[in-house]
Chains A and B, each alone.
Chain A
């Protein structure tokens, strides 16, 4: 028994900000104070509040140390762990109140959250199967194998109302029953862990923080549809996730939770990892399966759906990581419990990856139907530097931008689609007044042009033409006709593309055209970029009154576009200026403005 446990986040965010060194120094300090039999250091998965990393929690007190530096460790060890005096100045400031320390669950970031998919992340050691088992792990699998028939498992999932968390929101139970209904000598259970949506990292967090939940859920899915083999298609860009998942699979095999005759039943199931190699289109189900088969990850027409003919022509189900991570809890707590959370058609919770211009970047899990305002303002802590909220982008390159006028919309699958965006995998990027919406639309189109697999013409050629028009707009050379053409192209690509990538690629353009038409008009008609982002439309000027003639700007200008004598007002020659902004950065008197 240890009297104190120190949990240090070993997720990607905190590892990037140096949590490995923190753990090393911490263990050395604890050893040098002779506390190694009393204090245990545990490397956990992500706590969610990545903006404050590296993060460390000391139990039983629950003291939440944020932005920990290695230099702070000796003090924490000698004061807190040895003498029991919490080092208040190093705590997350929100947990420090006048009357002492308040619990993490009462802070704005955690108060409104409800953790189902992420319940073990940041709580257990992901590399130790016993810790997962201690938190009811593999109990749901045992219950399924000993108490329920496969059909009963499927009907529980159906009744829970769980929908796919990866994009389209297809009801999971129906997917399973379709695959169950097809007879075959071999069936497969696949997991999409190829989280390609830029700005979303919840799947990575589950893989890194709670890998066993995925194994348990996939085994349950295998039992339900009658499959004995599973594949996890995981991004090679997630090395920590790959490593921990492999450790988890090995441990599960050792405990007999994967392999033959699990829990003494006649059900056998095993699984393997397959690494992706950086192709966004492989998030599409048929493309993912083609990639597992070892080919170019190109999608194919449906039907036949994977439930009929999937991997190697056999009935297959594919769900994403977050979907699976809900399954064991639904089995243990019942369909009614899950269905009691959320809105009428979207049950349960959803994890969002908050990013962009927001104070508390990180992962949050909230019940479906929470409003955007609650997520951005209350949990996310609002916009930094006193800037104004402009839009929130959901659904990545397939989604759209939600303007301030829809700030109070309850977030669920259907509401997001009704305003031209989509849930996608749950990336939520916040943009402030300095973000140009035309530039963002162009950014997403660059992404889809790059990632289009090239198999069908509407997507391969269409997105390229859209990008060309958007480039013209940001260069100030487009006409109003181009705007009409752009919109028309959007509808053609949406209705004629082969797979989800092409069908949703125009969404970022359509939604910004709809909500931010004025910005497009400013670029096209006035040849101005209101947010000051599109370089071709900017011009730099020196304000006479403010210029002291220090010559600094003239010296940093890479093209000698600035002239003027010492202690006299300088001028920028606009025909030479390349708009690099170096002069503005260097000016100490705020005398240079961009318009």
Chain B
């Protein structure tokens, strides 16, 4: 009965609603046992992708297969009840008329419903003893755990999480998120989390797919995605970024922040204009007026406990926006202070003409 983790293979998936294309050729492979996240702005098509995987919608074109079994292609379309894919929605969607026990046991055979399985599942999500309660007697976080236990009850080949933490308040969100991550890891189930929150995607997933305009723009491990985005828009979406223009000079690029090392080397001729992305934590700030680095002036500071954000204008060149720097802990600097800044580590750079091949997002799109 236990399903070994099976690879999910999505290829060339298309879906339109009316004459409005939502998915425009999605290709994605999620290896069995992986916790993947699909992240994108609203309207990028991520929810539609999830609904197709669950069997709620039928794709116009393309195929979906798990472990070699086709769920969708031109001829085959398995309905939701034939797929054995778990689904946890934003608000849990528990059956309000059933107890927690009956919710978790809904997908089980009648005999199994009375056995130890329901209790085991509740214990797995840390809710033992609450089986007799009704959903409205639970907190939002508890409801999501019940929804997860219910989804896992049928030993799904894949579990889909549709923004399951978005309805929780901020303090609860982090702890429920970690719990869900641990539970899924323990269960060894392949999972796909859909979210618009890139922090969430980076922090919980083994594999992050960024969706943009109905396509997967990049799939990588979180660290790699953050370090090597395919273009500057994606880099700015996945994390905070200082974006500026530079010029290739040998194997480095000259920018208002100095001559910077480019990750993976420069694949352009001298003099080529480049769009350069510098992460705030790469910008080091020194509280001296003179010294190495570029002269700047602090325009604003923000203290966040574990780190501080400092906005700095560069004195020599007119950059449209202040450079953002993130430093650990507190820094005794206030607006107006003269500082020196220098960039540590390699940065990302793309030839300027190729940095914006597409519009950032389609207006008026709805998932």
To the question of whether A and B form a pair in one complex, the answer is no
Interface, chain B (partner A; CB < 8 A): none
